Amino acid sequence: MSNVTRRDVLRTAAATGSAAVVSWFTQRTAVAETGSLLPPPVTPGVFSYLTQADIAFVDAAVSRLNPSDDLGPGAREAGVTFFIDQQMAGPFGRGETWYMLGPWKDGTEQQGYQLKLTPAQLYRVGIKATDDYCQRTFKKRFADLGAADQDKVLHGLEKGDIELAGAPAKEFFAMLWQNAGEGFFADPIYGGNRDFAGWKLVGFPGPRYNYVNEIEQYGKTYTLPTIGLAGRRTAASRTG
């Protein structure tokens, strides 16, 4: 993936606002349970849902979806796998705000998510089924494949050319792609976007409480450091 393509693709992903949606659902639960607008603190490296095999898969997959390059760290280095783990262990992963009862019929793309699996269940089933496919096809797990073969598998999932047991490939890939973008651009307080990697890539300085002094500073470089909801600290430094 070229440098320009990577930046353009990630800027488009950031513009969708999907990360804010996930964070909003998490935030609602946090307010109800603790009275605080901030989510419960996370301990980096302590995974709550993904198994070691799951972590290896997601690390490898997000490294191909958003690799590191001369523009900066990629998804793996930015802690996207940990972000996904935290989301799957929480209300989003359990589909707490979704209607998850039948009837179960094939929907259209315009109807959105239609599976009986929660997002967390989709990951569990999708990862195992993809690894089983890789074992049959390449005699290796996905995480152990070379970059070219990993890309081939990801393209197969995206197009639905690979048949997975227990889950549709296209829906699994779509969820993975969505969450990879969310983890790269969500506030670091949710466990991803480590050291503001995603925000620095697209030039977003963070949700500072105001920019009044900078409004009319046309043509001047913005020099204040990137800041998140927890200040200049990332989730790692906040709890480490």
CA distance 224 to 209: 13
Q: Where are the domains of the chain?
A: 3-239
User: If you search the block for the tokens 């290796």, which residue do you land on?
Assistant: 140
CA distance 27 to 39: 6
The pLDDT, as a whole number, for residue 208 is 85
The pLDDT, as a whole number, for residue 238 is 39
CA distance 210 to 107: 44
Q: Which amino acid is at 223?
A: T
Q: Is the pTM of this model over 0.85?
A: no
The pLDDT, as a whole number, for residue 47 is 94
Largest CA distance in the chain: 61
Sequence-distant (6+) residues with CB within 8 A of 43 are 239
Q: How far is CA 5 from CA 2, 148, 193, in A?
A: 5, 18, 20
Query: What Rg, from alpha-carbon coordinates, does the chain have?
Result: 19
User: From first to last of its 240 residues, what are the pLDDT tens digits of the chain?
Assistant: 445 455 555 655 555 554 444 444 444 444 555 566 666 666 667 899 999 999 999 999 999 999 999 999 999 999 999 999 999 999 999 999 988 887 887 778 787 788 999 999 999 999 999 999 999 999 999 999 999 999 999 999 999 999 999 999 999 999 999 999 999 999 999 999 999 999 999 989 999 888 888 888 898 888 889 999 888 766 544 333
